[in-house]
């Protein structure tokens, strides 16, 4: 992961965009604030991509937006809901 100041990022923005598109994690900070430079999902790819709940949780974990414990709890809850729903359909 690269972390740069705004001044550093401005002078090499073209190269940073290329790196971000290639998968490099780029952060730009200004004072205590930090932003990330990353590819935006394309409309077509985002709508066609079907993620399993497990894959969606893995991606959220990678982004630091979900802890492993939160992911496990969510998967357990979804599993219990599915079992309850399947039981109602079979009855």
pLDDT score, position 90:
61
Q: What is the pLDDT of residues 61-73, one digit of tens each?
A: 787 777 778 778 8
Among 13, 62, 11, 58, CA closest to 37:
13
Residues of the chain with CATH 3.40.1620.10: 1-39
Distance in angstroms (rounded) separating the CA atoms of residues 56 and 67: 13
Distance in angstroms (rounded) separating the CA atoms of residues 63 and 22: 17
Q: What is the pLDDT of residues 3-55, one digit of tens each?
A: 999 999 988 888 999 888 888 899 999 999 999 998 887 655 545 667 777 78
Global pTM reads 0.45
User: Is 3.40.50.200 the CATH number for 1-39?
Assistant: no
């Amino acid at each position: 992961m690269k972390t740069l100041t705004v001044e550093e990022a401005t002078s090499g923005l073209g190269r940073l965009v290329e790196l971000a598109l290639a998968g490099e994690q780029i952060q730009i900070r200004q004072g205590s604030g930090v932003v990330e430079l990353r590819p935006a999902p394309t409309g077509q790819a985002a709508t066609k991509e079907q993620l399993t709940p497990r894959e969606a949780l893995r991606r959220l974990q990678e982004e630091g937006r979900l802890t492993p414990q939160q992911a496990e709890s969510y998967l357990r809850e979804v599993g219990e809901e599915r079992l309850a729903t399947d039981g109602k359909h079979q009855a």
